[in-house]
Amino acid sequence: MRELIDILQVGRKAILVHSNADPDALGSAYALATTFPEADIYAPGGLDRSGKALQAFLGIEVLENYEPDAYELTVVVDTSSPEQLHPAKVPPGSVVIDHHRPNGKWEGMMYHCDDTRSSCAEIVLDIIEAAGRRIDREVAMALMVGMLTDSGHFQYGNAALMHRFASLMEAHGIAADEVMGVTRAQTGMSEKAAILKGVSRSRFDRLGRYIVAVSYGSSYESSICRALLNCGADVAYVGSQRDERFRISARCSQDIVREGLHLGQILDELGGETSTEGGGHGGAAGMTGTGDVEAMLHMCMKKTMSRFREFRDRSAPQ
């Protein structure tokens, strides 16, 4: 931690977040950029809807065209693999701060990871406090929105996250509804249409009491995943295709995570088998790469059903 803080305190920095960046990624980047100036924030693959809401709320400047030679240090936050930064490529010796399951993809980087944390914002808060830096109200809000959204509005949060969230509430006089209001927005017509199309295109397979659903669309993959879970699926994979590249979002219920399923592990293994990039948390993960999204969704389905067969065999009477 001390070495990491010393590095962050010197020089001009570029702070990168993963493609389709969420509030945890953007809030963590904003907190680091504000606390350890001077720094620019880059989102090579853009922001998701909630990320854009946080950007608008705090007036965060986010750039897209990253040029590593313009900076003395590159910092990557909340990103489980280099592929998630496409088309940006970071130089060796960059700093990576993450909370996803380690997958060995950051060789040659200064890698700081704690996958027991529900959000990257908690790790960034630890770094700021260890550096003895002051946290203002805007930084606190950014970190709290990151904690809120990455824990599924506390559905997947643990005691450590709840303590950190409450400590910021108390220190800065921030009410919970203020934080929730940042990302509370009406679902737009384009998102509604994408969800309905995604549900209508879905197919599913069943093993005993387990149901796995897959679908595809052109956008709003995570929203379609949540809709499929609300429709009764235990696990949902939704993909999109853009030219030769694909993107898959995966979600599952917390009950399934407690039974032993880890979506990040499944997509990490599948990424290794297909020369693509996958990873994430137990209940929420993603995958990107070059290939056919329909074929990849089929492989996601097969691998998950295989896991469920292992669960069934393990619980069967001997």
3-class DSSP string for 221-253: HHHHHHHHHHCCCCEEEEEEEECCEEEEEEEEC
The predicted structure's pLDDT at residue 316: 64
Q: Identify the CA nearest to 119 among candidates 178, 88, 160, 91.
A: 160
Q: Which structure tokens are listed for 277?
A: 């990039």
In angstroms and rounded to an integer, the radius of gyration of the C-alpha atoms of the chain is 19
In the chain, residues under CATH classification 3.90.1640.10 are 2-183
The one-letter amino acid at 196:
L
Residue of 170, 171, 172, 176 whose CA lies nearest to 147? 176
Q: ∠ at Cα 121 (237, 179), nearest 5°? A: 85
Would you state the pLDDT for residue 51? 95
Which residues make up the CATH 3.10.310.40 domain(s) of the chain? 191-315
Question: What confidence score (pLDDT) does residue 165 get?
Answer: 98
Quick check: helix, strand or coil at residue 196?
helix
Q: How far is CA 137 from CA 33, 144, 151, 172, in A?
A: 15, 10, 21, 6
Are 156 and 118 contacting, i.e. CB atoms less than 8 angstroms apart? Answer: yes
Residue with tokens 């908690």: 122
Token duo for residue 219: 């956008």
List Cα–Cα distances, 294 to 130, 225, 229, in angstroms: 46, 16, 20
Q: In the 8-state DSSP scheme, what is residue 10?
A: S
C-alpha–C-alpha distance, residues 61 and 54, integer Å:
11
Choose which CATH entry (3.10.129.10, 2.60.40.1180, 3.90.1640.10, 3.90.220.20) describes domain 2-183.
Answer: 3.90.1640.10
Q: Please, are residues 91 and 74 in contact by the beta-carbon 8 Å criterion?
A: yes
Q: How far is CA 87 from CA 82, 90, 278, in A?
A: 10, 10, 16
Q: Whole-prediction pTM value?
A: 0.81
SS3 of the chain: helix, strand, coil, percent, to 5: 45, 20, 35
pLDDT at residue 311 in the model: 86
CATH of span 191-315: 3.10.310.40
Collect the ranges in the chain with pLDDT lower than 70: 185-186, 316-318
> What is the C-alpha end-to-end distance of the chain, expressed in Å?
49
Residue 317's pLDDT is what? Answer: 63
Distance CA 301, CA 311 (A): 15
